[in-house]
A and B are shown apart, each in its own frame.
Chain A
């Protein structure tokens, strides 16, 4: 068993356990901290796939900026057990059944999906995640989606300013 395999299993286990902890922690601040652990584990996976740029961006943007925002909001809202809305027992039951069936379907589908096995991660030569190649492809083949994203951000900003400025 090579080092890559060991790393892969370690990171996968870390990601799954941290994701479960996000759900099961009673304190919302702890949930956010576990979520940061999930992001770090996923970044590790990116590095294993030789996508260093994506890994760094994932840490800076998600684990850094967005999670800090999450923490701020959660601390400002001062959530605790008393403010938690009480949910109907039937609603909980329906949610559990629906989510459980979805999980069952997903597991069985991925398990029997023969077309997924032996796929070499669709990485071609394995250097697609390097920043040079990413930049090249972003400004040639994917230039229209790139420009559309900028208009999307522009309009989102305009909308946010109008809504945020109301007196």
Chain B
């Protein structure tokens, strides 16, 4: 019997079944309760998450097309949990939205693509699942159907992702031409040092990845896309989509291009320097809170790249740990923003003046999330950044760590500026007390527990570190 296949692919199967179920429900009935669709999806996502922690198979099926182990399962669990939180947060917006079922179909398609991408050990499979995780996102970015800037965001997203796919495909075909295979393992053993064409292939593949994680020379449209998309999609783009690509990036860098480690070290250091500095400098001047978080997420990617430059098990573990922390803190911030935007339509930083006066809980939530993003000790963001810099320092580039520390200080200024707006500044037109529905409330509580807990509970990092091996 081939039941093994079903157990190995249980994340993907549950998500695929959910997609088909939603499609059938949508086609079958005219008057669909949005609440029902959301509840079914959240329930199945939760089931997938629970199953992901209980059933932990390892194996390699369909050649190298699908490979799973404890590390891959952890990464999928992180992504599923993040998607679940976003889905809970979006319920305020989705309640009266006319295309809720389609929203979930597209969202889950991208999640499916990411799960397959994490499990792929073959460039063809990797490319296809990367496309599956970006093309539906472009449609999602357009889901504020009557806003012009939403269409603009979708167009910019699809153009930049098509361009980056083109670069990556060119790189992959050079790799195929020189090695004669597409499987990660065989490519890794067929790669030879001092072959310029393979080095060039790596640069092209790196550029493709750079677009997806919006590292600095490739970041140009990121802020426009984030500003134009609906808040739920923005948070998905900035957290889940980036996280998934970074997970695969770890595999590609550390396994496939392990032989070129001395070359990509410098590439990553330079890109991470530019990403941190430019992301920070642009974040300083933003007045729209979504654009602000877009640039803040760019500068966070710079820190992640420092962690990656270490090139050891420690750096893989520190990157995954940071992404867990980053998901909780960024989603905490986006949860509040989604609520405020959904109920009042305000999304400028100035609109948050005097926010603490009427919304005590939301203010604390946003405050803690921003503290974590800035990396201030009691919350998890500090430990995340600490481990990243520690693994970056393994190669002995202390000047790089010094520049990163200066950048952390700069970032402190703009994060605390928002906190000051919320807690200290007074305003005559401060936002009224907002009602919080049960789903966003649950999501917020999860985020707060995550932000505080993942920092205090030291076992988490050790758990990830053990899985990496």
Chain A, Cβ-Cβ closest to B203: A105
Chain A, Cβ-Cβ closest to B26: A158
Q: Please report the C-alpha to C-alpha distance between residue A152 and residue B127 in the assembled complex, in whole angstroms.
A: 12
Q: Which residues of B contact A141 (CB under 8 A)?
A: 62-63, 65
Q: Please report the C-alpha to C-alpha distance between residue A110 and residue B198 in the assembled complex, in whole angstroms.
A: 10
CB distance from B326 to the nearest CB of A (A): 26
Q: Please report the C-alpha to C-alpha distance between residue A151 and residue B143 in the assembled complex, in whole angstroms.
A: 20
CB distance from B146 to the nearest CB of A (A): 7
Chain B, Cβ-Cβ closest to A147: B16
CB distance from A143 to the nearest CB of B (A): 7
Which residues in chain B, 107-161, are within 8 Å of chain A measured between CB atoms? 109-110, 112-113, 116, 124-125, 128-129, 131-132, 135-136, 138-140, 142-143, 145-146, 154
Given contacts A109-B197, A160-B139, contact A155 B145 (CB under 8 A): no
A105 and B65: CB pair below 8 A? no
Q: Please report the C-alpha to C-alpha distance between residue A76 and residue B319 in the assembled complex, in whole angstroms.
A: 49
Which residues in chain A, 36-58, are within 8 Å of chain B measured between CB atoms? none
Chain A, Cβ-Cβ closest to B99: A162
Chain B 415-449 per-residue mask, 1 if CB under 8 angstroms from chain A, else 0? 00000000000000000000000000000000000
Q: How big is the A interface, by class?
A: 20 to 34
Q: Which residues of B contact A93 (CB under 8 A)?
A: none
Q: Which residues of B contact A166 (CB under 8 A)?
A: 145-146
Given contacts A115-B178, A162-B143, contact A155 B63 (CB under 8 A): no
A116 and B197: CB pair below 8 A? yes
Given contacts A144-B62, A156-B139, contact A115 B197 (CB under 8 A): yes
Q: Which residues of B contact A155 (CB under 8 A)?
A: 19, 105-106, 109-110, 132, 135-136, 139
Q: Which residues of B contact A106 (CB under 8 A)?
A: 200
Given contacts A113-B195, A159-B139, contact A151 B19 (CB under 8 A): yes
The answer, yes or no, to whether A101 is at the interface (CB within 8 Å) is no
Q: Please report the C-alpha to C-alpha distance between residue A152 and residue B105 in the assembled complex, in whole angstroms.
A: 11
Q: Which residues of B contact A143 (CB under 8 A)?
A: 62
The answer, yes or no, to whether A148 is at the interface (CB within 8 Å) is yes
Q: Which residues of B contact A163 (CB under 8 A)?
A: 139, 142, 145, 154
Q: Which residues of B contact A152 (CB under 8 A)?
A: 109, 113, 128, 131-132, 135
Given contacts A110-B197, A113-B196, A163-B145, contact A145 B136 (CB under 8 A): no
CB distance from B142 to the nearest CB of A (A): 5
Given contacts A144-B65, A145-B65, A166-B145, contact A151 B132 (CB under 8 A): yes
The answer, yes or no, to whether A149 is at the interface (CB within 8 Å) is yes
B200 and A105: CB pair below 8 A? yes
The answer, yes or no, to whether A80 is at the interface (CB within 8 Å) is no
Q: Which residues of A contact B62 (CB under 8 A)?
A: 141, 143-144
Q: Please report the C-alpha to C-alpha distance between residue A112 and residue B176 in the assembled complex, in whole angstroms.
A: 17
Q: Which one of B138, B146, B196 contacts A159 once the chains associate, using CB atoms below 8 Å?
A: B138
Closest 9 CB pairs of A and B: A159-B139, A155-B109, A166-B145, A155-B136, A113-B197, A144-B65, A152-B132, A162-B102, A115-B178
20 contacts between A and B (CB under 8 A): A109-B196, A112-B196, A115-B178, A115-B192, A116-B177, A119-B180, A144-B125, A145-B124, A148-B116, A148-B125, A148-B132, A151-B112, A151-B132, A152-B132, A155-B110, A158-B102, A158-B105, A160-B139, A162-B99, A163-B154
A interface list, Cβ under 8 A from B: 105-106, 109-110, 112-113, 115-116, 119, 122, 141-145, 148-149, 151-152, 154-156, 158-163, 166
Q: Given known contacts A155-B139, A162-B143, what 14 new A-B pairs fall within 8 Å (CB)?
A: A105-B200, A109-B196, A109-B200, A116-B177, A141-B62, A144-B62, A148-B128, A151-B109, A158-B23, A158-B139, A159-B102, A159-B106, A159-B139, A162-B102
